Structure 1
Amino acid sequence: MSDIFAKVRLGGIELNNRLVMAPMTRSRAKLDGTPGDLAAQYYAQRASIGLIVTEGTQPSDDGQGYLTTPGIYTDAHVEGWKAIAQAVHAQGGRIFLQLMHAGRMSHPDNTPHHRQGVAPSAIAPGAPMFTAAGMQDIPTPRALTTEEVRQTVKDFAYAARRAIEAGADGVEIHGANGYLVQQFIAASSNVRTDEYGGSIENRARFAIEVAKAISDEIGPERTAIRLSPSLLMWGIDEGAEGPDLYRHLVAELDKLGLAYIHIMHAGNEELLSDIRKLWHQALVLNRPGRSREQIGTDIASGLADIEAYGQMVLANPDFAERLDSGAPMNEADRSTFFGGTEKGYVDYPTMSELKAAKETE
């Protein structure tokens, strides 16, 4: 496991270890999308991990899907994220801000303009969503016009620029988990007849254009993307041609020289191996459900350069230190994942805090 604690170059920065905090929605932002008052403390507590990837952050009003998620397109948003970036950097950490446009995974009650969600095509995901009024079915989205698709690409680039203004080390495009970028990729959610629909090349076009626009805006060394090939959720089904689409997409993205690609692995080992061969920059791998005993195995085998972890980092601010020392881990409290107060957010104890508490007993 020693390789996981080795330093690694990622784009224009150096990480102290090969561990990444995976992006996790916490739904604790203010109603205007400004990060909540405890967010700086939350992220700074976890700054000893090699890289923090923040919760999904909307690039526009249309990009919001869930209640109280943060944005990065107004001056207030920038000031809020600036405090977070400064707090993380003060602890020696690195932070990439994840740009997430929810697309059709949205409800009008959750957005600042209360408008119908937007997507590649007017196809509902067939899933409910939490709102202030409780769980509600997600309504059918409105299909973006071709010009609106191009404007959305510009929205991503603008949000990336604002993230850098806020002090982030870079941005990660959320191209996974059934949100807008993957909605363009999947034939089940994209039945367009313009240049963004139909063929493999056309359905990959939006992801490539977003990555290029952001790369042109802030530099490829500050730009990354997360993908989840073959993931079936919320009506997303990439079909039999899905692996070939990702081979094309990854090969095209590789030409941009991005900082890293972040794969949320859904089980297709052959495709993962092909992606490793096609990609010539850093590869971050997230295997949901990976046990503690398996940590570091993908780095040791050469399949990944860096490994990403979610709930274990959420529950253990000193995750890297616990891993290195063999100390037991705190268990995550699922009931506090979304919304709420400091409970389950900034009150998970570190080893040193537990030791101090025991000494005062």
Structure 2
Amino acid sequence: MTLKLHTPTQLGDLSLRNRIVMSPMTRTRNEPGHVPGALVVEHYADRADAGLIITECTSVSADASAFGDDPGIYNEAQVAGWKRVTDAVHAKGGLIALQIWHPGRATHPFLNNGAESISSTNRAIRDDGIHTPKGTVPQANPRALRTDEIPGIVAQFKAGAENARRAGFDAIQIHGAHGYLIDQFLRSSVNDRTDEYGGSLENRARLLLEITDAVIGVFGAGRVGVRISPLVAYNDISDADPQALVAYVAEQYAKRGTGFFELRHNDHSKAEELELARIARSKLGSVPLLRNGGYGGADGDEDVVAGRADAIVYGKPFIANPDLVERLAIGAELNAVDFTTLYAGGAKGYNDYPRLAS
């Protein structure tokens, strides 16, 4: 019996051959200058049988690296590197979306040639420090963006989308999750502004929606999506009313007729996360809902069959299983992830996981 996960579906203008989506995952395998190289080409091409690949978070600004060797989409070398990736994925019949991103305060001047971190606020992340070329150091206080600087941030995202289009991407996902810049405006625990980008939910969502409209102007609504994570506390962030946040952002994406809307859960099966999914589904209209957070094959298929999601986004299973789509189809055992190699660099733990024997 064919699982519904393995049936075709439509995400806006994208025709997917299955409902299994590869999650964005930072793996720190890029070449100097934040350029995707041969390792990255091989990694994504090996997973091209996913219904849709969403790339690792990719910076729209030369002053916005959070991991040191994360990729960018703001210069010609990066466009050329990503073009090799998209060509390789397309040669295998796959679809690939670029996740565009700015880390905001979740970075450090030591990672960005001394450039000051920016945010919705001037408060630093409360954590155990950040890894930099000078070792692990305390998080630096960011500078709160002035109101008149925000159009420049929107312009960076638009330029990133324009570069992504030239690089051959099929779609864009805007990273509005995990406590990075857009989320620093979106969620109430960090946004302490008193201008039109702070206070009410409508104001806090303004940056996300301005970026969304700019990216739609490049790709068209049916090829633009978003990821939000209202209950995920990464980078010292939370929201006083996550249900209202989901309802409002989902309504706004429905009005725009976007291609997809992803909820990133801590655990998709928890009651509070199920409620967010129910709210999103009720507000999205015809916009497809993607869900992500601890899924296996059986529970992913169950949620698609039940209408709780239109497609399922898999992260760690795709790290260790380049043939994840096939394994889920036949119920094969999955390779285990070697967590010691997640960010180690090189092919080990990146491009050397075995496929099923033919």
Q: Give yes or no for TM over 0.5.
A: yes
Equivalent position of 2:247 in the other structure: 247
* Alpha-carbon distance in structure 1 between the residues aligned to 2:108 and 2:344: 17
Gaps of 5+ in 1: 356-361
- Counterpart of 1:308 (choices 290, 293, 313) is 313
Within 2, Cα distance between the matches of 1:53 and 1:179?
A: 17
Give me the whole-angstrom Cα distance separating, in 2, the residues matched to 1:167 and 1:87: 11
> Deviations 1:234-274 (Å, cap 9, x if unpaired)?
221211x3321321122112111111001102442222201
- In structure 1, what is the Cα distance between the partners aligned to 2:261 and 2:284? 8
For 1:286, the aligned partner's letter is: N
| 1:126-205 → structure 2 map (5 Å cutoff) | 126-127=126-127, 128-205=129-206
Asked if the contact 1:66/1:107 (under 8 Å) is kept, the reply is no
Match of 1:10 in 2: 11
Q: How far, CA to CA, are the matches of 2:242 and 2:325 in structure 1?
A: 35
Letter in 2 for 1:295: G
Is the CA contact (8 Å cut-off) linking 2:280 and 2:289 kept in structure 1?
Answer: no
Structure 1 residue 169 displacement after superposition: 0.3
| Aligned counterparts of 1:44 and 1:123: Cα–Cα separation in 2 | 40
Q: CA deviation at 1:119?
A: 0.4
Larger displacement relative to structure 2 (35-44 or 129-138)? 129-138
TM-score (norm 1): 0.94
The one-letter amino acid paired with 1:42 is H
Following superposition, the deviation at residue 106 of structure 1 comes to 0.3
Which structure 1 residue ranges, 4+ long, deviate > 4 Å from structure 2? Answer: none
Give the alignment partner of residue 347 of structure 1, picking from 319, 338, 352: 352
Contact 2:246–2:279 under 8 Å retained in 1: no
Give the equivalent residue in structure 2 for 1:336.
Answer: 341
SS in 1 for 2:193: coil
Shift of 1:327: 1.6
Kindly state the Cα deviation for residue 114 of structure 1 after the two structures are TM-superposed: 2.4
* Cα distance in 2 between the residues matched to 1:232 and 1:329: 28
Do the aligned partners of 1:122 and 1:140 also contact (CA within 8 Å) in 2? yes
Percent identity among equivalent residues?
38
Matched residues in 2 for 1:249 and 1:309: separation?
23
Q: CA RMSD in A?
A: 1.3
Q: Following the alignment from structure 2 to structure 1, what is the Cα–Cα distance between the partners of residues 65 and 234?
A: 19
- When the two structures are aligned, how many residues end up with a matched partner? 350
Q: TM-score w.r.t. structure 2 length? A: 0.95
SS for the counterpart of 1:308 is strand
Task: Please list the CA deviations of residues 326-349 of structure 1 after superposition, one character each: whole Å capped at 9, or x if unmatched.
Answer: 221111111111141100011111
Deviation of residue 10 (structure 1)?
1.7
Pick aligned residue for 2:288 from 282, 285, 290: 282
The letter of the residue matching 1:156 is: F
Cα separation, 2, equivalents of 1:33 and 1:340: 13
Q: Which amino acid aligns with 1:329?
A: L
The aligned runs of 1:1-361 (5 Å cut-off) are: 2-111=3-112, 113-127=113-127, 128-239=129-240, 241-266=241-266, 267=270, 268=272, 269-280=274-285, 281-287=287-293, 289-352=294-357, 355=358
Secondary structure at the counterpart of residue 244 of structure 2: helix
For structure 2, which runs of at least 5 residues remain unmatched after alignment? none
What is the deviation of 1:132?
A: 2.1
